[in-house]
Structure 1
Amino acid sequence: MPVMHFHVVWPDQTQTRCYSPSLVVQEYLQVGHSYPLPDFVQRCHDALHIASERVRAKYGFACSQALDQLAEIEQRAAPFHTQADAQVLVTAFS
């Protein structure tokens, strides 16, 4: 399966490189686009669950690394949920 990373800038301007075991994330996120925080988290949830299921279909087991990445995204997003205008910018795929 083609592994990819997506790079994001959080509302506090810190940057994170995130992992996906599948290119499906490109169907949910666009480089150069800012997403409202809840929308970004939901898009990552959907994309990483699909990616994990693609791994399951191919190898017989879910991708724990994708689910760990989702947990990290949710944890990273938590402090910003009180900011009504919090945005996450997707800067690159690699």
Structure 2
Amino acid sequence: MLCAVYKTKKKSGMFLYVPKKDDFDEVPDALMKQFGHPELVMMLPLDKREHLGSVEKQKLIAALTEQGYYLQMPPKEENLLESHRVAMGLPARPDDKKNG
């Protein structure tokens, strides 16, 4: 199975996978409007790949087969200030109040 991978300029790390190049018929209009102009990143042969980075191969194949597309969201960014505050024994946010 071969699929096309597209990126968007609107959100770094967001990718749209479709089974055929430039075929967005199955992608909902609302998603395409939010995604913006898709830029082809690569054609990806799924049967020749064991690992696909952060995407589970079987989950991707199932989504492409069942709904006709797969949207990969970027990983959630860690809030370094909150992590530092928690490490210092403080609440994650200055406005959080401890009860008791």
| TM-score bracket, shorter-length normalisation | 0.3 to 0.5
TM-score, length-scaled by structure 2:
0.31
Q: Which has the larger radius of gyration?
A: 2
Give the structure with the higher percent helix: 1
- The higher-RCO structure (CA 8 Å, 6+ apart) is 1
Structure 1 length-normalised TM = 0.33
